Amino acid sequence: ANDTRQPLCILTDAEFSVEDGTAGLGAVVFGANGKPREYFSEKVPTDVVAALQRAAGTDHVVSALELLAVLAAAKTWKAESFHRRVFVAVDNDAARAALVRASSAAPAMRRLVKTLLVHDAEWPSYRWVLRVPSKANVSDAPSRLDLRELKAARARRRYLNWEDLDLKVTLG
């Protein structure tokens, strides 16, 4: 890549409560100054959680939600990522492995990766996926809808376009 722009750094996270089936997604983009520039923080609609559970064949869908956070980040910042080096940090080993391998044995995760690959064909970037320890993942707070630090940092909030994620096609 002959791109002279600074790489884009995106940290993503998902949270899932098995007790009540609620879930959240968060992602934070950092500016060249190393400070949070933009983020999203969303509660996952219950129909999306249910569709993931059906596709996965289990109630435990945190790894699929972690992939969904990466897909949502790719779609949210597609223009900024276009033909650019992008570092994406996740704190879930199964999600990282699926992204690196571009596949997964888990049906729901395989479908999400396929959707991300289709997106990448239309909006290519030079994505590098890395693991960040959960305690160091600044997107943990927005995945739990805690925005105090990001508001204090004056980061700009972005909102997910759930229709743009094409989950009805992805998850059936």
pLDDT of residue 169: 75
pLDDT of residue 2: 64
Q: Which residues contact 84 (CB under 8 A, 6 or more apart)?
A: 1, 3, 5, 7, 8, 125, 126
Q: Is 152 exposed, middle or buried (0-12, 13-18, 19+ CB in 10 A)?
A: exposed
Helix (H) or strand (E) holding 49: helix 46-56
- pLDDT 10s digits, 131-148: 999 999 999 999 999 999
The pLDDT confidence band at residue 44, using thresholds 50, 70 and 90, is very high
**CA-closest candidate to residue 107, choices 164, 141, 63:** 63
CA quadruple 43, 45, 49, 55: dihedral positive or negative?
A: negative
CA quadruple 62, 111, 139, 129: dihedral positive or negative?
A: positive
Q: Give the 3-state secondary structure of residue 92.
A: coil
